[in-house]
Chains A and B, each alone.
Chain A
Amino acid sequence: MSENILTILIFSPLVALALVLLLPVKSKKAFPWISLVITGIQLLIACSIILQSGDTIQTGVNVESQFQLIEKHPWLQLSMGTLGNFSINYFVGMDGLNSSMMLLTSIILFIAAISAFEIKTKTKGFHALFLLLNTSINGCFLALDFFLFYLFFEFMLLPMYFLIGIWGGARREYASIKFFIYTLAGSVLILIVMIGLYTSVIDPAATAVKTGLAQNIESVSDAQVNQIQEMLLNGTLPSEEYVRTFDMISMMDAKNYIPNSVFFKGNINSFFGENARLIAFLLLIIGLAIKLPAVPVHTWLPDAHVEAPTCISVVLAGILLKIGGYGILRIPYSIFPEGAIHFAWWLGLGGLIAIVYAAFVALGTHNLKKMIAYSSISHMGFVLLGIASLTAEGINGAIYQMFSHGIISGMLFLVAGVLYYRTKDLEIEHYKGISSKMPIYSALVTIAFFASLGLPGFSGFIAELFVFLGAFQSHEVNNLLPAWMAITATLGLILGAAYYLWTLQRMFLGNFWSRNESKILSDVTSRELVMLIPLAVISLVLGIFPKLLLDLFEPSVAYFVDFIQETGKQNLEIIFQANN
């Protein structure tokens, strides 16, 4: 296994991008194949990484040596006199939290590349943007340097804006600009915190090198790191020697914070009465919650999903939403764990509201794709509820739900796409009895719907079960979420069954009638089958053998939960002491 496999995984689409840009527009047929081949290669790489690391995926989280496939190279180093030194690294690595997301990304992008064959206009531009999107998403999940993460995070927005805005449906311009600006607004909040963190955190290893304590980065020992940290705390480290960094792992260690900086724990600083660290947590949560999306900052999603072309909807629902969930675990939870404990009740409430509210709205929509979009919001509510509970089951359930939902919503949007491709009309009332014309398609739709509503045997059930377990046990184990939240969330199960079965009955059963008499409804083609069946199989397999997926992140999550609880409680004490 090459040392740089992660870099290859992230940047190989750029090579394909160059190829796409060089080829003339005339070779329309080649572009989808290029995308397909490169995503196929990425899928193989991802699978081989997972298979090879298999049982030994390490916990990571906040210990750099516990990450796998690390690549850390200095990227920008500037010396700025008394202000210290500016340092950005290229730092990617894999641990339990992002291994499953990396796998999901490869699977969904591959499926989306198959689906992209149906794009017939301006294919060169489409696939160029698609490959750019590919790089950004992979990079976002694997980046461990905050600046790098933010870079990829922002970079995803650009191709999405064009992809929705040019190849989308009737209201595509509105949807794309809404998506772009809304998400950008969230990212600005993240940027604020990022800058604040940057001014507060040093990289002890690089500082050791700078002060001459160690020869070079590789030879820095733990003792030297501790020495630097002590010097920092005592104030004996001169400020020219500070090497500030965006390294997320350094941010998770309390001893790396410069005393009297914005985010130092002992700070009496407060903004509007709340400690700066808690405010930072909130800002990060809001920024990432827009991506998740959480109610009430979710309204960009229905428009973006309905107007986007099918393959982009698949990517949007399958992966982009998960960046929000993964981001919440990686950034605010790991860096400001006291916020996780302090605001758990509110986050849990947010998750609960998302589950129930979105399910109700899904019941009341008339457009198939919009209904699926709202069901996505409802499922991501489960993720938020699971994360808020801060129990091992809850967070395992959240990550499992992210993976499972990625697969299942991919299937759902593909299924909607099959119909859209034929008739360009997705109003539920315009169809009756499709099963008599398209029996195989109806069977697949039934499987997709039942998988999504959480029928046992599919991965969605396992995920929701874990989230329920975690949320319910939370009031006993760590006293964060009350038991009624989990009980009320079961309403989501009933409503989910209601809107899916109702749609199934209205659109698929009975005698055939369609508003678009002229359009022919042919049954699924082999290309569509090739996309849908693997997803269904994955969902089924993960529903019966959850251990296969759990092995990827369960050890990490166990460690993560302990780490957050401990550090969070300590920090909360320090904060409230400092403020008294």
Chain B
Amino acid sequence: MEAVETIHEPLALTAILIAALPFGAFILLMFFSKTIGKKLSGSISTLFTFIAACLSLYIVVQAFTTEPNIQTVVQWFEIKGTPYNIRLFIDQTTALMLFTVCFVSTLVQLFSQEYMKEDEAYSKYFAYLSLFTFSMLGIILTSNLLIIYVFWELVGLSSYLLIGFWHHKKSAQRASKKAFLLNRIGDAGFLCGLLSLFLLFSTSDLQLIAQNFQAGNISAEHSTILFIAGFGIFCGAVGKSAQLPLSSWLPDAMEGPTPVSALIHAATMVAAGVYMLFRTSFLFTPEVNLIIAFTGVITAFAAAFAALTQTDIKKVLAFSTISQLGYMVSAIGVGATESAMFHLFTHAFFKAGLFLAAGAVIHALHHAAHESHQHFDAQDINLMGGLYKKLPFTTITFTLCGFALAGIPLFSGFLSKDAILAGMLHFSLHEQNSLLMIIPLLGFLTAVITSFYTGRQLIKVFGGKNGWKGSAEVWNHIHENTIKIKLPLAMLAGMSLFLIFSLNPFNAESSWLMHILGATPTEGEGHLLIVVISALLSLSGVGVAWLVYQKESISISKLVSTENIFYKLSYNFWYLDRVFDPGLKNILIKTSTTLAKFDKKWLDKTIDNFAIGQVVIAHVIAWVDRIMVDGLIKTLVWFTGKAGNFSRKIQGGKVQSYISAALVTTLLIALFFIFKF
């Protein structure tokens, strides 16, 4: 493969090196883990990713100061004159994504060294993590949708391997298979979108497509194809970013180790969907945008609603991730694409921080249970409480990240969520359709619910009126985690504050990030109102949670009872899973068993019957041959026999009859001769 054109070659090579480093770690750890040894494997993987992170930081700096666009194009193959190229493309957003992925991956790997240190398949774990990092970087670095699709599926493979990491557990096996299958459904749609783009533009290179598109080369009869293109790409995002109706794999994916959830299912892989929507948003027709906006906001609401009643510490965060992704997706749909990306960046940090903090809690409780020889479900928040006394560091980091999630002012999450809500409101006010007001309405509602369940989780785990609800022996053995766990938590918590993103804690538009992403300043009139409203909503959400769970002055026992319809809807995520299993699964299995039976009993039997029919025909023909054809001969023979019999009687064996016969004959001959003359 030769390069077709390159801009800023050394930086392009650096970018390739960034991707190659985790891949190298993957190869080393898959095939040479025995020589490297268990302890070293984790360090190697982390080191490689750390170097990649540093290099990506260098690229970020370069992208912001001197070279805004780094590209190189390589030809992969050619069919009948149509080239299929791979384009490496880095602009400022890409550089930032690069850095985010590498940075979070490094932190997660550092965390994992401690978290997974007693696991047997330690080296394989890091190998898979490196494979994932490599695939994710592949998605970010290239600007060809085809190559993105390749890495998209590879990311799905890594996710499959990591979710099902503890594969002796049936639930983990099922979860990983479900994740891959639901993603595949989305990918089938993605492929259709890809095919449409190839049809329209003869290339999947987004840069070339953008140029072509701006030139307005789409004719009217291609509008359906354009719709399919947009919708197909959105399908891919629905699968990867766990939007409705393909959301149910994400909560189940919590079967994997917690650091995996942090990296893949919070910060990076699920964000790939949003990233891709951001990159391709210029292609979407208004209908597609509407679908995207509604899907996103409904998902956001449904998932937040489900998070209200979850009792597993990770499941709350999983639903929260779906919800936040819904925000991002919806923001793309309403046209606030920069806000979506902004939220993607802030979410990556605070959600990873939340997951890692949850992991720290689980890890500490596991150890405590182990040391006190007690059986204890380390993930059930109903058994926790008052942990601020034993795990103060974790409490602080969890709280900081949690506040960012809830959208409390002074935190990064507030800025990005505010930007999205502003975008939603702006969109629905601009369009004449009043039905569109549902979008910002649901958006604000979800914001309240988000802050409420965040507060609920914080209090249930770390606070609570009565403190620790588990057993006393376990309590005595709880102690804080080591530095390898604390350091990532601290860094991520730090990134959840507003400072990194904007000097003004209340206005997202002043953020340098928004500027980079391409935001244009909007009219400022309603903006202050939105800021105030969202601040109030988030604060009140947390406040109500405080009242309910800490002070217990509001009783929600009637709502929390398992008979309550809302509780059931929430806890079971709107029974969405039933659509797939047993719903779709049954249909699929029934169809396949029916078709298998049809194939065997009908199709195959037809052939067998054909053969049997042939044998029957053969027997009939044999009968005809025996009875009729041969019969004719037999009849002839019978006649001949009878004639013979008859003639034979003349030979009686009696001499005198012979003599008389001779005499008569002689007489006749004599008479004949006499009367002839």
Interface residues of A (CB under 8 A from B): 178, 181-182, 296, 299-300, 302, 357, 360-365, 392-393, 396, 433, 435, 450, 455-457, 461, 465-466, 468-469, 472-473, 476, 483, 486-487, 490-491, 493-494, 497-498, 501-502, 504-505, 509-511, 545-547, 550, 554, 557-558, 561
* 21 pairs of residues in contact across A and B, judged by CB atoms under 8 Å: A178-B607, A361-B596, A364-B589, A364-B597, A461-B150, A465-B146, A466-B79, A468-B191, A472-B192, A472-B198, A472-B199, A473-B199, A486-B195, A487-B192, A490-B188, A494-B188, A501-B180, A505-B173, A511-B168, A546-B76, A550-B78
Q: Establish whether residues B1 and A545, one from each chain, have CB atoms under 8 Å apart when the complex forms.
A: yes
In the complex, what residues of B have CB within 8 A of residue A363's CB? 588-589, 592, 596
Given contacts A299-B599, A360-B596, A557-B80, 17 further A-B contacts (CB under 8 A): A182-B607, A299-B603, A299-B604, A361-B596, A362-B592, A392-B82, A455-B153, A456-B150, A469-B198, A476-B199, A487-B228, A493-B188, A493-B191, A497-B180, A509-B168, A509-B173, A550-B79
- Nearest first, the 3 closest Cβ-Cβ pairs linking A and B are A364-B596, A364-B592, A456-B150
In the complex, what residues of A have CB within 8 A of residue B591's CB? 360
Among residues of B, the one whose C-beta sits closest to the C-beta of A371 is B596
Given the interface contacts A299-B599, A457-B154, A497-B181, does A550 sit within 8 Å of B77 by beta carbon? yes
Q: Report if B170 contacts A (CB, 8 A).
A: yes
B81 → A minimal CB distance (Å): 8
> CB < 8 Å: which of A473, A494, A509 contacts B198?
A473
Q: Report if B527 contacts A (CB, 8 A).
A: no
Residue-wise, chain B 189-213 has the 8 Å CB interface mask toward A (1 for contact) of 1011001101100000000000000
Given the interface contacts A473-B199, A554-B80, does A360 sit within 8 Å of B153 by beta carbon? no
Q: Establish whether residues A494 and B195, one from each chain, have CB atoms under 8 Å apart when the complex forms.
A: no
Residue-wise, chain B 53-95 has the 8 Å CB interface mask toward A (1 for contact) of 0000000000000000000000011111110000000000000
How long is the Cα–Cα vector from A547 to B77 in the complex, in angstroms? Answer: 5
A452 → B minimal CB distance (Å): 14
Q: Report if B595 contacts A (CB, 8 A).
A: yes
How long is the Cα–Cα vector from A536 to B1 in the complex, in angstroms? Answer: 22
Among residues of A, the one whose C-beta sits closest to the C-beta of B84 is A546
B248 → A minimal CB distance (Å): 16
How long is the Cα–Cα vector from A491 to B115 in the complex, in angstroms? Answer: 40
A493 → B minimal CB distance (Å): 5
Q: Report if B184 contacts A (CB, 8 A).
A: yes
A461 → B minimal CB distance (Å): 7
Given the interface contacts A456-B149, A498-B181, A547-B76, does A365 sit within 8 Å of B596 by beta carbon? yes
In the complex, what residues of A have CB within 8 A of residue B599's CB? 299, 302, 357, 361
Q: Establish whether residues A494 and B76, one from each chain, have CB atoms under 8 Å apart when the complex forms.
A: no
Query: Secondary structure of the B side of the interface?
Result: helix
Interface residues of B (CB under 8 A from A): 1, 76-82, 146, 149-151, 153-154, 157, 160, 164, 167-168, 170, 173-174, 177, 180-181, 184-185, 187-189, 191-192, 195-196, 198-199, 225, 228, 588-589, 591-597, 599, 603-604, 607, 611
> CB < 8 Å: which of B164, B199, B593, B596 contacts A509?
B164
Q: Establish whether residues B167 and A435, one from each chain, have CB atoms under 8 Å apart when the complex forms.
A: yes
How long is the Cα–Cα vector from A47 to B79 in the complex, in angstroms? Answer: 23
How long is the Cα–Cα vector from A579 to B77 in the complex, in angstroms? Answer: 45
Among residues of A, the one whose C-beta sits closest to the C-beta of B185 is A494
In the complex, what residues of B have CB within 8 A of residue A511's CB? 168
B93 → A minimal CB distance (Å): 24
Q: Establish whether residues A510 and B603, one from each chain, have CB atoms under 8 Å apart when the complex forms.
A: no
In the complex, what residues of A have CB within 8 A of residue B611's CB? 178, 181
Q: Establish whether residues A505 and B154, one from each chain, have CB atoms under 8 Å apart when the complex forms.
A: no
In the complex, what residues of B have CB within 8 A of residue A504's CB? 177
How long is the Cα–Cα vector from A181 to B81 in the complex, in angstroms? Answer: 44
In the complex, what residues of B have CB within 8 A of residue A545's CB? 1
How long is the Cα–Cα vector from A472 to B173 in the complex, in angstroms? Answer: 35
Q: Establish whether residues B195 and A468, one from each chain, have CB atoms under 8 Å apart when the complex forms.
A: yes
In the complex, what residues of A have CB within 8 A of residue B198's CB? 469, 472-473
Q: Establish whether residues A472 and B196, one from each chain, have CB atoms under 8 Å apart when the complex forms.
A: yes
Among residues of A, the one whose C-beta sits closest to the C-beta of B604 is A299
How long is the Cα–Cα vector from A534 to B589 in the complex, in angstroms? Answer: 35
Q: Establish whether residues B187 and A493, one from each chain, have CB atoms under 8 Å apart when the complex forms.
A: yes
How long is the Cα–Cα vector from A520 to B79 in the complex, in angstroms? Answer: 50
How long is the Cα–Cα vector from A393 to B174 in the complex, in angstroms? Answer: 37
Among residues of A, the one whose C-beta sits closest to the C-beta of B157 is A455
How long is the Cα–Cα vector from A193 to B77 in the complex, in angstroms? Answer: 39
Q: Of B1, B157, B596, which is in contact with the most chain A CB atoms at under 10 Å from its CB?
A: B596
> CB < 8 Å: which of B181, B195, B589, B603 contacts A469?
B195
Q: Establish whether residues A554 and B79, one from each chain, have CB atoms under 8 Å apart when the complex forms.
A: yes
In the complex, what residues of B have CB within 8 A of residue A550's CB? 77-79
Among residues of B, the one whose C-beta sits closest to the C-beta of A551 is B77
Q: Establish whether residues A501 and B167, one from each chain, have CB atoms under 8 Å apart when the complex forms.
A: no
Q: Establish whether residues B79 and A493, one from each chain, have CB atoms under 8 Å apart when the complex forms.
A: no
How long is the Cα–Cα vector from A76 to B516 in the complex, in angstroms? Answer: 79
Q: Establish whether residues A502 and B157, one from each chain, have CB atoms under 8 Å apart when the complex forms.
A: no
Given the interface contacts A360-B595, A361-B595, A545-B1, does A510 sit within 8 Å of B607 by beta carbon? no
Q: Establish whether residues B154 and A546, one from each chain, have CB atoms under 8 Å apart when the complex forms.
A: no
In the complex, what residues of B have CB within 8 A of residue A357's CB? 595, 599
Among residues of B, the one whose C-beta sits closest to the C-beta of A468 is B195
In the complex, what residues of B have CB within 8 A of residue A455's CB? 153-154, 157
Q: Establish whether residues A364 and B595, one from each chain, have CB atoms under 8 Å apart when the complex forms.
A: yes
How long is the Cα–Cα vector from A392 to B187 in the complex, in angstroms? Answer: 24
Q: Of A362, A392, A491, A501, which is in contact with the most chain B CB atoms at under 10 Å from its CB?
A: A501
In the complex, what residues of A have CB within 8 A of residue B173's CB? 505, 509-510
Among residues of A, the one whose C-beta sits closest to the C-beta of B183 is A497
A21 → B minimal CB distance (Å): 34
In the complex, what residues of A have CB within 8 A of residue B80's CB? 392-393, 554, 557-558, 561
Among residues of A, the one whose C-beta sits closest to the C-beta of B232 is A487
How long is the Cα–Cα vector from A361 to B603 in the complex, in angstroms? Answer: 12
Q: Establish whether residues A505 and B174, one from each chain, have CB atoms under 8 Å apart when the complex forms.
A: yes
How long is the Cα–Cα vector from A561 to B593 in the complex, in angstroms? Answer: 40
Given the interface contacts A505-B174, A511-B168, does A299 sit within 8 Å of B154 by beta carbon? no
Q: Establish whether residues A364 and B77, one from each chain, have CB atoms under 8 Å apart when the complex forms.
A: no
How long is the Cα–Cα vector from A561 to B173 in the complex, in angstroms? Answer: 46
A405 → B minimal CB distance (Å): 19
B116 → A minimal CB distance (Å): 19
In the complex, what residues of A have CB within 8 A of residue B195's CB? 468-469, 472-473, 486-487
